[in-house]
Amino acid sequence: MTPPAPAKAAAPDPCRHCGLPLPSGRSDGFCCPGCTLAYQLIQQSGLGAFYQRLTLSAGQRRLQPEIREHRHLGLSVIAEGKDRCGLSLMVDGLHCPACVWLIERVLAQQPDMLAARVNFSTGRLRLCWQGTPERADSLVGLVESLGFRLVPFDPAKLRDATDEVGSELMRCLAVAGFATGNVMLLSVSVWAGHAGSMGAATRDLLHWLSALIAMPAILYAGRPFFRSAWRALAHRRSNMDVPISVGVLLTTAMSLSETVRHGPYAYFDSAVTLLFFLLIGRVLDHRARGRTRAVAAHLLSLGAAGATRLTGLGQAETVPVGALKAGDHLLVAAGEKLPADGDVVQGNSDVDGSPVTGESIPLAAAPGSHLFAGMVNLTAPLTLCVGAAGDDTLLAEMLRLMEAAESGRARYRQLADRLTRLYSPLVHSAALMTFGYWLVLGEVAWQVALLRAVAVLIVTCPCAMGLAIPAVQVVVSARLLKRGILLKSATALERLADIDQVVFDKTGTLTTGQPRLLTEPKPDAANLCLAAGLARSSRHPLARALAQACRLAPVITDVEEIPGCGLLAGGTRLGSRAWLGLPEDGRTDAELWLAVAGQTPRRFAFGEDLRPDAAGVVARLAGNGTGVALLSGDRPAAVAIAAQACGIQDWQGGLDPTAKLRRVAALQRQGRIVLMVGDGLNDAAALAAADVSMSPASATDIAQTAADVVFQGARLAPVADLLDIARQARRVVRQNLALALGYNLVAVPLAVTGIVSPPIAAALMSSSSIIVVLNALRLMRPYQEGAL
Amino acid sequence: MTSLLLLIPCALLLGAIGLAAFLWALRSGQFEDLDGAANRILFDDPPAKETHHDEAR
């Protein structure tokens, strides 16, 4: 939690609603009309205390209301009995509990609201209201007008994915914890009794009681391990769970036989404690990963949820994207994302193709143009004929490229798995040799020999090793999540530590993906004001950038938008060079021309904003000895400008997806370990091929699916931070493994020679686990470089 | 040692009650929003419409 960014000394106070710096010329305390409305709504609802309670957190977007995109919320509403509707949404922009309070109170003031509850941990909002599904739009609109962004999701799907395993682990943990506490209690009295004050009958009674508590608990709480071990063995492999399962089951069986034979030692406490500690590791691991998985799943659901299909009778119906077939006619409203590949049948518009091609300037769409899913329709409604479904779509082509590229990465084995492959045969043969040695050479009864062999299994049971890696991953992923970085892949952290080459995409990755009016040469104020006034009525990104540059411009009414050309109001025109009939002059920037009757046309040139810290991050990476390259599908001239601004020497423009993939593969052949950072459909194959891949949260669905890591926010610093943190984490993992193995090296000889008694084994085991966890917790300390 | 016959069942019973309480809490969703619950107590005005937690999950 950090205070709002201090405004620059000369600048006035930040916006009273969102806290962003005010644009020059605004004097009413608000940065945009959206913030003014949000502020009024909050005050009218009597919730003004919100502003005193709000604590802004970094990594979350500020609460600046945005223009709403056209969506199909009705599809996500679930009917819950007569006249009752339910809707689950993901909330983007939750800073602190005050946001929870505000959302719940504003919604509770709606008369038809039955329940509105925000889950702060998962960032989800659950709505339940009396009425029709259509009401969803206005309810969601109400919250969005406060500056939050909401995305609907299907709760049934998400619960299946995350909750079942998690709650089973928790139940196992609870049972194991109960058994550990009680069996330990009994064991301590037995150990104390060994001094001589306890009679054999009492000891047997306590052993029997331990058996009664421990055995059902072990059978219940050990299931996650037994299942996984069985699966591994069925596939003739071994994993960490095999020695654990063998150790726990043998220990229990051995202890039971000791108890039956009135023996002095039983190891029930060791078996349940082992399970308890291991389950803690599993639960933590699952929690951290489940949380990031859930958030990542939500980011993906930002994609088109529904499509408007035209029936043969010319009526419109809303259908899920999955139900579309080739030949369907779709209506795509302005501002909507194209749900499928297809050809334009009717309508003229401008289409933002940057998610697919990387090209930053929108393309004109007219009947006959072929468009791809993921592009955004900007200015006017289009009717689209869905292209050949299945294998012929661009999406399917990308998926094929991705699959081929990903097969290389699947060969990566986790450090823990590699260790286990070496470790478990070693453990099993050590136990076997102990048994054989005592039986043949030690001349003791077979029960004693077996007891010593089991002792070896217990002390070598990789309890600390099972905790060593999960503990670090939990701490690190929780810390990364706070900074808006989601680890989607379990092995990403390990792979990240080896990275020595970073490859960036340009549009949307190095840059914010939004055009901005260039201030060189400075446009004169009167014309800018006029142009901005015209531009306010359009959704075209260049027009929006123009409107952004002069927010005080008076709104001009009666503006006609001519898709693919420009805007027209009376005799004044704002639009493309070709529309105004001006000759080409070789300049390649994105541009708009303003023509006022009787004056020479004025030119407005646009550039792309680099992410504010792009150059700094590139310098930081280079300073660490990491190679940096820029691969883009945009025009080489535009790429050159961005590369120069960031200080990247190694750049290439005009690349198609296959060329990007080849370039990444070439780097890998040179022995480089490549991190690819990209956001477009055209990056997906390269993302899948790279050793690790990262996407901004604004990226296309397919890029986010391909990426191992997704980062939020306008800054690029997460890329450099992540590499630093991954290297730090690897150091701690190695220390932990060294500690765990060192403990085993000391304990095994003691166990082989039969010196280790149950209390010593238990104490050694617990202390090594605790040391490992404490060592992992060191990573919680605030991280200095690139601090927030 | 006869006191053990009373004390051990007592200890086990208490432990079992704790276990049952935990499992109940788990099932009824008490662990689903730990951060939210910690802060919710600080909201000083009474909730306008409180509903059963099962519904709000």
pLDDT in tens, A115-145: 888 888 777 888 888 888 888 888 888 888 8
Contact A97 B36 (CB under 8 A): yes
Give the per-residue pLDDT at A223: 93
Residue A655 and residue A689: Cα distance in Å, rounded?
16
Give the per-residue pLDDT at A178: 93
Contact B19 A113 (CB under 8 A): no
Q: Which residues of A743-775 are buried (b: 16+ CB within 10 A; e: fewer)?
A: bbeebbebbbebebebbbbbebbbebbebbbeb
Mutate to test the interface with A, among B10, B14, B32 (most CBs of A within 10 A): B32
Residue B57: pLDDT band (50, 70, 90) is very low
Question: In this model, does residue A295 exceed pLDDT 70?
Answer: no
- Give the pLDDT mean for A234-241: 77
Kindly state whether B20 is in contact with chain A, defined as any CB-CB distance less than 8 angstroms.
no
Give A177's contacts in chain B (Cβ within 8 Å): 19
- Give the pLDDT mean for A94-107: 85
Q: What is the DSSP letter of A683?
A: G
Question: In this model, does residue A217 exceed pLDDT 90?
Answer: yes
Structure-token pair, residue A550: 């002069």
Kindly state whether B46 is in contact with chain A, defined as any CB-CB distance less than 8 angstroms.
no
Q: What is the DSSP letter of A311?
A: P
Mean pLDDT highest for which of A14-28, A584-598, A679-693, B42-56? A679-693
Structure-token pair, residue A418: 């590699």
Give the closest-approach CA distance of B23 to chain A in angstroms.
7
Residue pointed to by tokens 């220990």: A251
Contact A170 B26 (CB under 8 A): yes
Kindly state whether A478 is in contact with chain B, defined as any CB-CB distance less than 8 angstroms.
no
Q: What is the DSSP letter of A358?
A: -
- Give the pLDDT mean for A151-157: 67
Order of all β-strands in the sheet with A627-631: A485-487, A709-711, A692-696, A674-677, A501-504, A627-631, A650-652
Give A115's contacts in chain B (Cβ within 8 Å): 49, 51, 55-56
- Give the pLDDT mean for A715-728: 88
Q: Which residue has the higher pLDDT, A415 or A575?
A: A575
Structure-token pair, residue B41: 């107590």
Give A101's contacts in chain B (Cβ within 8 Å): 43
Give the closest-approach CA distance of A283 to chain B in angstroms.
13
Beta strand extents in A360-439 (DSSP E only): 363-365, 370-371, 376-377, 382-386
Give A186's contacts in chain B (Cβ within 8 Å): 8
Task: Identify the weakest region by mean pLDDT among A418-422, A734-738, A776-780, B20-24.
Answer: A418-422
Kindly state whether A101 is in contact with chain B, defined as any CB-CB distance less than 8 angstroms.
yes
Contact B12 A181 (CB under 8 A): no
**Share in percent of chain A as helix, strand, coil (round to 5):** 50, 15, 35
Question: Residue A179, by phi and psi: left (phi above 0), alpha (psi -120 to 50) or beta?
Answer: alpha
Give percent of chain A with pLDDT exceeding 70: 81
Residues contacting residue A142 through CB under 8 Å, at least 6 positions apart: A41, A106, A107, A110
Give the closest-approach CA distance of A104 to chain B in angstroms.
9
Beta pairing, strands A124-130 & A329-332 = unpaired
Q: Which residues of A330-359 are buried (b: 16+ CB within 10 A; e: fewer)?
A: bbbebbbbbbbbbebeebbbbbbbbbbbbb
Question: What is residue A526's three-state secondary structure?
Answer: helix
Question: In this model, does residue A177 exceed pLDDT 90?
Answer: yes
Residue A122's Cβ-count burial label (10 Å; 0-12, 13-18, 19+) is buried
Question: In this model, does residue A71 exceed pLDDT 70?
Answer: no
Residue A70: pLDDT band (50, 70, 90) is low
Residue A26 and residue A416: Cα distance in Å, rounded?
58
Q: Which residue has the higher pLDDT, A130 or A461?
A: A130
Mean pLDDT highest for which of A698-702, A711-715, B30-34? A711-715
Mutate to test the interface with B, among A100, A203, A210 (most CBs of B within 10 A): A100
Mean pLDDT highest for which of A249-258, A280-289, B26-35? A249-258
Kindly state whether A113 is in contact with chain B, defined as any CB-CB distance less than 8 angstroms.
yes
Give the per-residue pLDDT at B21: 93
Q: What are phi and psi of A398, to 5 degrees?
A: -60, -40
Residue pointed to by tokens 């805007």: A567
Question: In this model, does residue A81 exceed pLDDT 70?
Answer: yes
Residue A269's Cβ-count burial label (10 Å; 0-12, 13-18, 19+) is buried
Give the per-residue pLDDT at B50: 45
Q: So what's the ipTM on this one?
A: 0.76
Q: What is the DSSP letter of A557?
A: P
Kindly state whether B6 is in contact with chain A, defined as any CB-CB distance less than 8 angstroms.
no
Report whether A372 contacts A684 (CB < 8 A): no
* pLDDT tens digits for range A509-523: 888 877 788 776 677
Give the per-residue pLDDT at A69: 58
Give the per-residue pLDDT at A11: 46
Structure-token pair, residue A477: 């992923």
- Give the pLDDT mean for A54-77: 68
Contact B57 A126 (CB under 8 A): yes
Give the per-residue pLDDT at A166: 80
| Largest Cα span, chain B | 58
Give B2's contacts in chain A (Cβ within 8 Å): none
Give B39's contacts in chain A (Cβ within 8 Å): 96-97, 100, 120
Task: Identify the weakest region by mean pLDDT among A11-20, A289-298, A755-764, A771-780.
Answer: A289-298
Give the per-residue pLDDT at A174: 93
Kindly state whether B7 is in contact with chain A, defined as any CB-CB distance less than 8 angstroms.
no
- Give the pLDDT mean for A708-727: 86
Question: In this model, does residue A408 exceed pLDDT 70?
Answer: no
Contact A182 B15 (CB under 8 A): yes
Contact A182 B1 (CB under 8 A): no
Q: Which of A100, A115, A202 is nearest residue B56 as measured by Cβ atoms?
A: A115
Residue A483 and residue A59: Cα distance in Å, rounded?
5
Q: Which of A101, A126, A174 is nearest residue B22 as measured by Cβ atoms?
A: A174
Give the per-residue pLDDT at A630: 92
Residue A245 and residue A251: Cα distance in Å, rounded?
10
Q: For residue A308, what is the enclosing H or E element?
A: strand A306-310
Contact A174 B11 (CB under 8 A): no
Report whether A69 contacts A111 (CB < 8 A): no
Residue A553 and residue A537: Cα distance in Å, rounded?
12
Residue A392 and residue A31: Cα distance in Å, rounded?
47
Q: Which of A109, A167, A202 is nearest residue B48 as measured by Cβ atoms?
A: A109
* pLDDT tens digits for range A340-388: 788 888 888 888 877 666 666 778 888 888 888 777 787 778 888 887 6
Helices (H), A45-195: 50-53, 97-108, 135-144, 155-193
Contact B8 A209 (CB under 8 A): yes
Task: Locate the chain A residue with the closest alpha carbon to B41.
Answer: A97
Residue A81's Cβ-count burial label (10 Å; 0-12, 13-18, 19+) is exposed
Structure-token pair, residue A39: 């502020």
Report whether A126 contacts A104 (CB < 8 A): no
Kindly state whether B51 is in contact with chain A, defined as any CB-CB distance less than 8 angstroms.
yes
Residue A776: pLDDT band (50, 70, 90) is confident
Residue type, A497: A
A–B CB contacts, 8 A cutoff, strictly below: 76
Give A121's contacts in chain B (Cβ within 8 Å): 32-36
Residue A313 and residue A465: Cα distance in Å, rounded?
66
Contact B51 A117 (CB under 8 A): yes
Nearest to A349 by CA among A374, A376, A382, A372: A382
Residue A502: pLDDT band (50, 70, 90) is very high
Give the per-residue pLDDT at A619: 92
Contact B18 A178 (CB under 8 A): yes
Residue A454 and residue A273: Cα distance in Å, rounded?
16
Residue A504 and residue A676: Cα distance in Å, rounded?
6
Give the closest-approach CA distance of A269 to chain B in angstroms.
16
Question: What's the mean per-residue pLDDT of chain B?
Answer: 75
Sign of CA dihedral B18, B19, B20, B25: positive
Question: In this model, does residue B55 exceed pLDDT 60?
Answer: no
Q: Which of A204, A285, A328, A505 is catalytic?
A: A505
Q: Which of A101, A167, A199 is nearest residue B43 as measured by Cβ atoms?
A: A101
Q: In A, residues 3-62, which contact B (CB 8 Å cutoff)?
A: none
Residue A253 and residue A759: Cα distance in Å, rounded?
18
Residue A477 and residue A777: Cα distance in Å, rounded?
12
Task: Count the Cβ atoms, other than its own, within 10 Å of residue A389.
Answer: 16
Give the per-residue pLDDT at A211: 94
- Give the pLDDT mean for A272-293: 74
* pLDDT tens digits for range A600-640: 888 888 877 788 888 889 999 999 888 999 998 888 888 88
Question: Is A350 annotated as catalytic?
Answer: no
Residue A729 and residue A731: Cα distance in Å, rounded?
5
Give the closest-approach CA distance of B10 to chain A in angstroms.
11
Give the per-residue pLDDT at A757: 62
Residue A174 and residue A701: Cα distance in Å, rounded?
38
- Give the pLDDT mean for A183-188: 88
Give the closest-approach CA distance of B31 to chain A in angstroms.
10
Residues contacting residue A133 through CB under 8 Å, at least 6 positions apart: A74, A77, A79, A85
Question: What's the mean per-residue pLDDT of chain A?
Answer: 78
Residue A60: pLDDT band (50, 70, 90) is low
Question: In this model, does residue A459 exceed pLDDT 80?
Answer: no
Mutate to test the interface with A, among B10, B14, B19, B27 (most CBs of A within 10 A): B19
Give the per-residue pLDDT at A635: 81
Residue A384 and residue A362: Cα distance in Å, rounded?
18
Give the per-residue pLDDT at A187: 87
Question: In this model, does residue A306 exceed pLDDT 70?
Answer: no
Global pTM value: 0.66
Residue A316 and residue A371: Cα distance in Å, rounded?
21
Q: Which residue has the higher pLDDT, A462 or A445?
A: A445
State the first-to-last Cα distance of chain B, in angstroms, to the nearest integer.
Answer: 50
Contact B23 A171 (CB under 8 A): yes
Give percent of chain A with pLDDT exceeding 90: 7
Question: What is residue A484's three-state secondary structure?
Answer: coil
Residue A650 and residue A278: Cα distance in Å, rounded?
47
Give the per-residue pLDDT at A1: 39
- Give the pLDDT mean for A198-220: 90
